[in-house]
């Protein structure tokens, strides 16, 4: 009887695994389009893949990533209602990041996309709200773990994330020296990245105006409209 039950379970599990792999492949193809619709459509398929195989670490973190990137894309493209989108997708991204962590506690991606999802959620509800909800320590741990294990993940994402993380925290948690260190490290590797130019330019606006202006002028000339607009806003504040 026991052998029969095991056989039946295997018969059931095998097609589910095939379904999960099929959904995952379709989701990856849509995600790799790197546009708003691709991210949005991939989420439904990642969810189906995870439902078919809830023990897959890869599917869990990819689901977290898709939620986060959809929210971030909505923000940078200034989609109407982007804050509501970021709030929802940020929460869902955190949820699946936690699922990934539970499946593989030492896996970098689970922690990394959890932290990024907190950032997307914070874009909607504010940093202070996120802090009140106790999200700081896990975010910091995730970014620092990613930096230690593979700081070149997502084209140096953990370096840039830590630079921004220590910059946006309110006093007394904010650490401008750490932020500057990480942002300079990142810009040595990616000197033309407008996002990092904006972050470091903003950070240096009070104490190193000349350098801040140079960085922001470079970003303002970027083809990435969101970051070019951000740079122009900060340039207008430099006297």
Q: Where are the domains of the chain?
A: 12-142, 151-239
The predicted pLDDT at position 43 comes to 97
Choose among 65, 72, 121, 70: nearest CA to 97: 65
pTM: 0.87
- Contacting residues for 147 by C-beta, under 8 A, at least 6 apart: 158, 159, 162
Q: Tens digit of pLDDT per residue, the chain (239 long)?
A: 444 333 433 344 445 555 778 889 999 999 999 999 999 999 999 999 999 999 999 999 999 999 999 999 999 999 999 999 999 999 999 999 999 999 999 999 999 999 999 999 999 999 888 889 888 998 998 899 999 989 999 999 999 999 999 999 998 999 999 999 999 999 999 999 999 999 999 999 988 999 999 999 999 999 999 999 999 999 999 86
Q: Residue 138 has what pLDDT? A: 86
Residue 14: its pLDDT value, please? 45
Q: How far is CA 178 from CA 164, 174, 196, 235, in A?
A: 10, 9, 14, 23
Side-chain-side CA neighbours of residue 175 (13 Å): 12
Tell the CATH topology of 12-142.
1.25.40
pLDDT value for 16: 52
Rg (CA), the chain: 20
CATH C-level class of 151-239:
mainly alpha
Domains 12-142 and 151-239 fall in the same CATH topology = yes
Overall size of the chain counted in residues: 239
């Amino acid at each position: 009887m026991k052998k029969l039950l095991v056989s039946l379970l295997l018969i059931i599990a095998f097609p589910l695994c095939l379904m999960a792999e099929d959904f995952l492949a379709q989701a990856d193809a849509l995600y790799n389009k790197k546009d708003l619709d691709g991210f949005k459509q991939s989420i439904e398929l990642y969810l189906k893949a995870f439902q078919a195989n809830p023990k897959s670490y890869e599917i869990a973190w990819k689901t977290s990533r898709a939620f986060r990137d959809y929210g971030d894309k909505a923000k940078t493209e200034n989609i109407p209602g982007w804050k509501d989108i970021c709030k929802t997708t940020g929460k869902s991204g955190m949820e699946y990041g936690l699922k990934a962590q539970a499946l593989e506690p030492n896996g970098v991606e689970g922690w990394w996309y959890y932290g990024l999802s907190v950032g997307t959620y914070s874009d909607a509800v504010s940093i202070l709200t996120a802090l009140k909800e106790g999200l700081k320590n896990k975010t910091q741990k995730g970014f620092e773990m990613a930096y230690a294990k593979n700081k070149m993940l997502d084209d140096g994402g953990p370096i840039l994330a830590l630079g921004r993380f220590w910059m946006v925290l309110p006093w007394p948690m904010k650490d401008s020296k750490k932020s500057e260190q990480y942002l300079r490290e990142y810009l040595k590797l990616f000197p033309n990245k407008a996002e990092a130019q904006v972050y470091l330019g903003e950070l240096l606006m009070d104490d190193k105006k000349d350098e801040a202006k140079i960085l922001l002028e470079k970003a303002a000339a970027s083809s990435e409209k969101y970051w070019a607009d951000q740079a122009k806003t900060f340039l207008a504040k430099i006297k």
